[in-house]
Amino acid sequence: MKTIALLSTVLTLHGAAAPSLKLIAEVKGFASPESVATDGSHYFVSNVGKELKPTDKDGDGFISRMGPKGENLELRFIDGLNAPKGLLVQDGTLFVCDVDTLLAFDLATKKKSFELSFAKDGVKFLNDVCAAPNGRLIVSATDQNKLYLVSPKDQSFAAIQVDKAPKGPNGLAFITDDEDTYLLVAEWGSENKPNGSIRCYALDPTLLKGTEEDPGDDFPVKAGYQDGLAILSEEGEPMGVLYSDWVDFKPVGKLFLVTGENGKCHDLTIPSGPVAGPADFLYEPKTSTIALPCMMEGRVLLMTLVLQQE
């Protein structure tokens, strides 16, 4: 994998594709749902709280749990958080970005097993978390335009030094193979404007230095309020990128799929109709399931991504 252009050129979704979304379930009753993660048996949903105040330490945030089709909803599976956002499940542990702190919970007991504050760096908006090699994590700090490498084992973190800072880093996706390592970053944008894109950094072996890669015309991304991010792959090779875009603070949010050797950007029609605040969605490659939190509407959509022949 020599360049980000491979995300759109290595495969063409089995030929000329017309991707679509099929609704599985619509689950309501959440409180500003922001992120979805899975342990393979359940979905976990972060709830910022009744009011959409993502930086307030007001104690009204919580984590919900539900079945793979939205059944058996436990609304307050883990309670007493502030404004939890990005989630990641690893080996029975749920990592949670909560305002300025990265938390971890044992899913079997629901007990907190880890707490790492980023307050000394002035962080007030930890947003997403993704897995990195050797048990490490990468988190985004939207308000500081920074990315951090975290070692849960050492309970430490360090800023990743990049040659060009991301504009409001939000969703994250990590790619590695035997030769190269990349970090994709969905940008919320700057100056409260929908001017975010999808940025790609080639990381050095330490993961502490990154150089921006220019995707060129093969990777067209519309400027917007980018939030969630996922990579589609086949047999370990990337074949496309899914990302969500709020567009505006009303029901006009979008899901896009960028792929194809000519850099095609598919505007995926959401089957339940327009959504407000499409946030940090989960994509499950084994089932092609997308769990999309609609942050401003208090609901989560479960959908199947269908890659059809035209």
Question: What pLDDT shows up at residue 234?
Answer: 72
| Total structural domains within the chain | 1
Question: What pLDDT shows up at residue 308?
Answer: 66
Question: What tokens were used for 97?
Answer: 């970005």
pLDDT in tens, 201-230: 999 999 999 999 987 777 889 899 999 999
C-alpha distance from residue 4 to each of 166, 188, 231, 243 (Å):
16, 20, 12, 15
- The answer to whether 299 and 292 have CB atoms below 8 angstroms apart is no
Determine, yes or no, domain membership for 227: yes
Question: What pLDDT shows up at residue 104?
Answer: 98
pLDDT band at 262 (very low <50, low <70, confident <90, very high): low
- Across 234-261, average pLDDT: 88
* Residue for token pair 């990592």: 95
Range of the domain at 52: 6-306
Determine, yes or no, domain membership for 194: yes
Determine, yes or no, domain membership for 220: yes
Determine, yes or no, domain membership for 111: yes
What is the value of pTM for the model shown? 0.93
Determine, yes or no, domain membership for 273: yes
- Quickly count: other Cβ atoms within 10 Å of residue 262's Cβ: 11
Determine, yes or no, domain membership for 11: yes
pLDDT band at 235 (very low <50, low <70, confident <90, very high): low
Q: Report how far residue 212's alpha carbon sits from residue 159's, in angstroms, rounded to the nearest whole number.
A: 16
Determine, yes or no, domain membership for 36: yes
- Across 40-65, average pLDDT: 96
* Extended strands (E) in 153-263: 156-159, 161-162, 169-176, 181-187, 198-203, 209-212, 226-234, 237-245, 254-259
Determine, yes or no, domain membership for 1: no
CATH number at 194 reads 2.120.10.30
pLDDT in tens, 117-141: 999 999 999 999 999 999 999 999 9
Residue 107: closest CA among 139, 82, 74, 140: 74
Predicted confidence (pLDDT) at residue 1 exceeds the cutoff of 50: no
pLDDT in tens, 135-193: 999 999 999 999 999 999 999 999 999 999 999 999 999 988 777 899 999 999 999 89
- Dump the DSSP string for 129-175: EEE-STT-EEEEEGGGTEEEEEETTTTEEEE-EESS--SSEEEEEEE
Strand pairing of 161-162 and 209-212? Answer: parallel
> How far apart, in Å, do the first and last CA atoms of the chain sit?
28
